[in-house]
Amino acid sequence: MVANSPFSRMFGRSPIGPIQEHISKAHECAEQLLPFIDAAMAGDWEEAKRLQKALSALEEEADRLKKNVRLSLPKSLFLPVPRNDLLDIVTVQDKVANRAKDIAGLMLGRQMMVPAPLQGAFRRYLERSIETSAQAVKAIHELDELLETGFRGREVSVVEAMIEELDKIEGDTDDLQVALRRALFKMEQDLPPVDVMFLYRVIDWVGDLADRASRVGSRLQLLLAR
């Protein structure tokens, strides 16, 4: 008799699930960088190319999810938190995926080699940067618990602790970046200048990745601050 009751249509689809899905996908992009760098540092450009393609596909997927979230948040939706804050979170999250794609694209395009003495430090730096993104995912996945408690109280402190941890990890990447730059500076006159220039840029972007992931945390913090 009734196929589409107005009473059940009254409930919009909560944007929280899609937002979490999106950050998980963005994080997958970042994670993909690790095997890519390993292949690149080993000089296996066939494999690196394959991994870069996969990363690119993941980034497109994240883009699609981002659009999904945006379209499912019409102005007529009544949400427990400001709509703009949720949209901002998605925008920032998406930039993590974009940066991961940039890094892989640049390194593959120029067939960049990380100098052997720097490889260990570089990998550690990238790992830590990806951990920042992992922590952001963890924090965003608390959103449904936050909804359950009405975005207040004890759960808020849990998430705030997570965001603090996120900032700490991001701080680590800064230190690692400084150390890596210093090491590169010491050996830069023995390397082709253009390569060095781009290596600095890649180092910069890896730091950027962590920075963007930590900005997801700041956005989440804004959502809780009231």
Partner 1 sequence: MSIIAEHATLLLAMACLFGFFMAWGVGANDVANAMGTSVGSKALTVKQAIIIAIIFEFAGAFLAGGEVTATIRKGIIDPSLLADTPELLVYGMLASLLAAGIWLLVATHFGWPVSTTHSIVGAIVGFAAVGISMEAVAWGKVGTIAASWVVSPLLAGTIGFFTFMSVQRLVLDTKNPFESAQRYVPMYIFIVAFLISMVTMVKGLKHITAFKALNLNFFHDAMISVGIATLVTLIGISMLRKIKMVPSENKDFHFTSVEKLFGVLMMFTACAMAFAHGSNDVANAVGPLAAVASIVSSGGEIGAKSAMPMWVLLLGGGGIVAGLVMYGHKVIATIGTNITELTPSRGFAATLAAAATVVLASGTGLPISTTHTLVGAVLGVGIARGIGALNLRVIGTIFMSWIVTLPAGAGLAILFFFLFKGIFS
Site residues, partner 1 (CB under 8 A): 1-16, 76-81, 144-145, 147-155
Q: Which is nearer to partner 1, 145 or 174 (CB)?
A: 145
CA distance 214 to 170: 7
Q: Which is nearer to partner 1, 79 or 222 (CB)?
A: 79
* 86 touches 73 (CB < 8 A): yes
Q: Which is nearer to partner 1, 46 or 148 (CB)?
A: 148
CA distance 206 to 103: 7
Q: Which is nearer to partner 1, 158 or 183 (CB)?
A: 158
Question: Considering only CA atoms, which of 33, 193, 53 is closest in space to residue 122?
Answer: 33
Q: How far is the CB of 24 from partner 1 (least distance, A)?
A: 12
CA distance 64 to 58: 10
Q: How far is the CB of 142 from partner 1 (least distance, A)?
A: 9
Q: How far is the CB of 76 from partner 1 (least distance, A)?
A: 4
Q: How far is the CB of 28 from partner 1 (least distance, A)?
A: 18
Q: How far is the CB of 15 from partner 1 (least distance, A)?
A: 6
Question: Considering only CA atoms, which of 82, 80, 216 is closest in space to residue 152?
Answer: 80
Q: Which is nearer to partner 1, 144 or 174 (CB)?
A: 144
Is 158 exposed, middle or buried, given 0-12, 13-18 or 19+ CB atoms closer than 10 A?
middle
